[in-house]
Protein backbone atom coordinates (compact mmCIF):
# COMPACT_ATOMS: atom_id res chain seq x y z
CA UNK A 1 0.00 0.00 0.00
CA UNK A 2 1.34 3.42 -0.90
CA UNK A 3 2.30 5.36 2.25
CA UNK A 4 0.49 8.51 1.13
CA UNK A 5 -2.79 6.64 0.68
CA UNK A 6 -2.54 4.49 3.82
CA UNK A 7 -5.82 5.52 5.44
CA UNK A 8 -5.35 3.72 8.80
CA UNK A 9 -1.95 5.36 9.23
CA UNK A 10 -3.22 8.88 8.47
CA UNK A 11 -6.34 8.41 10.60
CA UNK A 12 -4.15 7.31 13.50
CA UNK A 13 -1.82 10.30 13.11
CA UNK A 14 -4.81 12.64 12.87
CA UNK A 15 -6.23 11.13 16.07
CA UNK A 16 -2.93 11.76 17.90
CA UNK A 17 -2.84 15.40 16.84
CA UNK A 18 -6.54 15.89 17.61
CA UNK A 19 -6.25 14.35 21.10
CA UNK A 20 -3.14 16.39 21.93
CA UNK A 21 -4.68 19.63 20.66
CA UNK A 22 -8.04 19.19 22.39
CA UNK A 23 -6.27 18.86 25.77
CA UNK A 24 -5.59 22.62 25.75
CA UNK A 25 -9.24 23.80 25.55
CA UNK A 26 -10.40 21.00 27.88
CA UNK A 27 -7.96 22.14 30.56
CA UNK A 28 -8.91 25.76 29.95
CA UNK A 29 -12.60 24.95 30.44
CA UNK A 30 -11.89 22.88 33.56
CA UNK A 31 -9.24 25.03 35.26
CA UNK A 32 -9.37 28.40 33.46
CA UNK A 33 -5.67 27.99 32.66
CA UNK A 34 -4.21 28.06 29.16
CA UNK A 35 -1.25 25.67 28.94
CA UNK A 36 0.20 25.13 25.47
CA UNK A 37 2.77 22.65 26.80
CA UNK A 38 -0.05 20.09 26.84
CA UNK A 39 0.41 19.79 23.07
CA UNK A 40 3.53 17.71 23.67
CA UNK A 41 2.91 16.26 27.13
CA UNK A 42 1.92 12.77 28.20
CA UNK A 43 -1.17 12.00 30.23
CA UNK A 44 -4.32 14.06 30.45
CA UNK A 45 -7.74 14.02 28.80
CA UNK A 46 -8.17 12.49 26.28
CA UNK A 47 -5.48 9.84 25.90
CA UNK A 48 -3.72 10.33 22.57
CA UNK A 49 -2.37 6.78 22.80
CA UNK A 50 -5.90 5.41 23.01
CA UNK A 51 -7.07 7.70 20.23
CA UNK A 52 -4.21 6.53 18.01
CA UNK A 53 -4.67 2.79 18.50
CA UNK A 54 -8.46 2.88 18.20
CA UNK A 55 -8.19 5.03 15.07
CA UNK A 56 -5.71 2.52 13.65
CA UNK A 57 -8.01 -0.43 14.41
CA UNK A 58 -11.07 1.38 13.09
CA UNK A 59 -9.22 2.32 9.89
CA UNK A 60 -8.05 -1.27 9.43
CA UNK A 61 -11.59 -2.54 10.08
CA UNK A 62 -13.02 -0.17 7.48
CA UNK A 63 -10.41 -1.05 4.86
CA UNK A 64 -9.64 -4.74 5.49
CA UNK A 65 -12.74 -5.89 7.38
CA UNK A 66 -13.20 -7.11 10.92
CA UNK A 67 -12.59 -10.68 9.81
CA UNK A 68 -9.04 -9.92 8.61
CA UNK A 69 -5.87 -10.99 10.39
CA UNK A 70 -4.51 -7.45 10.30
CA UNK A 71 -7.61 -6.20 12.17
CA UNK A 72 -7.06 -8.88 14.82
CA UNK A 73 -3.48 -7.71 15.27
CA UNK A 74 -4.48 -4.05 15.49
CA UNK A 75 -7.33 -4.78 17.92
CA UNK A 76 -5.09 -6.75 20.30
CA UNK A 77 -2.43 -4.03 19.99
CA UNK A 78 -5.08 -1.44 20.94
CA UNK A 79 -6.30 -3.45 23.93
CA UNK A 80 -2.78 -3.95 25.29
CA UNK A 81 -1.87 -0.29 24.75
CA UNK A 82 -5.00 0.98 26.49
CA UNK A 83 -4.62 -1.48 29.37
CA UNK A 84 -0.99 -0.44 29.84
CA UNK A 85 -1.92 3.26 29.82
CA UNK A 86 -4.22 2.75 32.81
CA UNK A 87 -1.94 0.30 34.61
CA UNK A 88 1.83 0.46 34.57
CA UNK A 89 2.16 4.04 33.35
CA UNK A 90 -0.43 5.31 35.82
CA UNK A 91 1.36 3.57 38.71
CA UNK A 92 4.65 5.10 37.60
CA UNK A 93 3.01 8.52 37.69
CA UNK A 94 1.70 7.93 41.21
CA UNK A 95 5.16 6.84 42.35
CA UNK A 96 6.59 10.01 40.79
CA UNK A 97 4.26 12.07 43.02
CA UNK A 98 5.69 10.37 46.12
CA UNK A 99 9.27 10.74 44.91
CA UNK A 100 8.75 14.41 44.14
CA UNK A 101 7.42 14.93 47.69
CA UNK A 102 10.50 13.18 49.09
CA UNK A 103 12.74 15.46 47.04
CA UNK A 104 10.82 18.52 48.27
CA UNK A 105 11.07 17.37 51.90
CA UNK A 106 14.78 16.62 51.52
CA UNK A 107 15.44 20.04 49.99
CA UNK A 108 13.53 21.69 52.82
CA UNK A 109 15.67 19.82 55.35
CA UNK A 110 18.87 20.91 53.61
CA UNK A 111 17.69 24.53 53.54
CA UNK A 112 16.95 24.45 57.26
CA UNK A 113 20.19 22.64 58.17
CA UNK A 114 22.46 25.20 56.58
CA UNK A 115 22.18 28.33 54.55
CA UNK A 116 23.53 27.85 51.06
CA UNK A 117 23.15 29.57 47.75
CA UNK A 118 19.59 30.56 46.98
CA UNK A 119 18.52 29.45 43.55
CA UNK A 120 15.06 29.35 42.01
CA UNK A 121 13.38 26.01 42.63
CA UNK A 122 13.42 25.23 38.90
CA UNK A 123 17.21 25.29 38.83
CA UNK A 124 17.59 23.15 41.96
CA UNK A 125 15.90 20.11 40.55
CA UNK A 126 13.82 18.81 37.73
CA UNK A 127 10.66 17.11 38.88
CA UNK A 128 9.84 13.64 37.66
CA UNK A 129 6.98 13.46 35.20
CA UNK A 130 3.84 12.77 37.24
CA UNK A 131 1.33 12.60 34.39
CA UNK A 132 2.71 9.48 32.72
CA UNK A 133 -0.42 7.39 32.63
CA UNK A 134 -4.13 7.85 32.23
CA UNK A 135 -7.22 7.44 34.31
CA UNK A 136 -9.65 4.90 32.81
CA UNK A 137 -12.01 7.71 31.73
CA UNK A 138 -9.19 9.41 29.82
CA UNK A 139 -8.43 6.16 27.99
CA UNK A 140 -12.13 5.65 27.25
CA UNK A 141 -12.57 9.11 25.71
CA UNK A 142 -9.28 8.81 23.85
CA UNK A 143 -10.55 5.58 22.33
CA UNK A 144 -13.91 7.09 21.42
CA UNK A 145 -12.28 10.10 19.80
CA UNK A 146 -10.04 7.82 17.71
CA UNK A 147 -13.00 5.77 16.48
CA UNK A 148 -15.28 8.72 15.70
CA UNK A 149 -12.55 10.76 14.02
CA UNK A 150 -11.58 7.81 11.81
CA UNK A 151 -15.18 7.15 10.76
CA UNK A 152 -15.61 10.86 9.97
CA UNK A 153 -12.38 10.92 7.94
CA UNK A 154 -13.33 7.73 6.12
CA UNK A 155 -16.60 9.16 4.87
CA UNK A 156 -15.04 12.49 3.90
Instruction: Check whether residue 79 and residue 99 sit in a common domain.
Output: no
The pLDDT of residue 123 is: 47
Instruction: Check whether residue 80 and residue 21 sit in a common domain.
Output: yes
CB atoms within 10 A of CB 42: 18
The pLDDT of residue 116 is: 44
The pLDDT of residue 124 is: 44
Instruction: Check whether residue 127 and residue 92 sit in a common domain.
Output: yes
**What's the number of domains the chain is made of?**
2
Instruction: Check whether residue 54 and residue 112 sit in a common domain.
Output: no
The pLDDT of residue 121 is: 54
Instruction: Check whether residue 35 and residue 93 sit in a common domain.
Output: no
Instruction: Check whether residue 2 and residue 44 sit in a common domain.
Output: yes
- The reported pTM is 0.64
Instruction: Check whether residue 19 and residue 71 sit in a common domain.
Output: yes
Parent domain of 105: 88-132
Instruction: Check whether residue 125 and residue 151 sit in a common domain.
Output: no
DSSP string, 2-66: -GGG-HHHHHHHHHHHHHHHHHHHHHHHHHS---GGGGG-SSSSS-HHHHHHHHHHHHHHHHH-T
Instruction: Check whether residue 69 and residue 3 sit in a common domain.
Output: yes
CB atoms within 10 A of CB 9: 16
Instruction: Check whether residue 21 and residue 70 sit in a common domain.
Output: yes
The pLDDT of residue 89 is: 66
The pLDDT of residue 114 is: 56
Instruction: Check whether residue 53 and residue 18 sit in a common domain.
Output: yes
The pLDDT of residue 108 is: 72
- The pLDDT profile of the chain, 156 residues, written as one tens digit per residue, is 588 899 999 999 999 999 999 999 998 998 898 988 888 887 788 889 999 999 999 999 999 999 999 999 999 999 999 888 877 766 777 777 777 777 777 777 666 555 445 555 554 454 445 555 677 878 878 888 888 889 898 888
Instruction: Check whether residue 31 and residue 61 sit in a common domain.
Output: yes
CB atoms within 10 A of CB 84: 15
Amino acid sequence: MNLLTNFPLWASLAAIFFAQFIKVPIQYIALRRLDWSLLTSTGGMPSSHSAAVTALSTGVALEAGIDSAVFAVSAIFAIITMFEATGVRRQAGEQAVVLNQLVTDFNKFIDEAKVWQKKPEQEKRKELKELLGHKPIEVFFGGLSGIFLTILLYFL
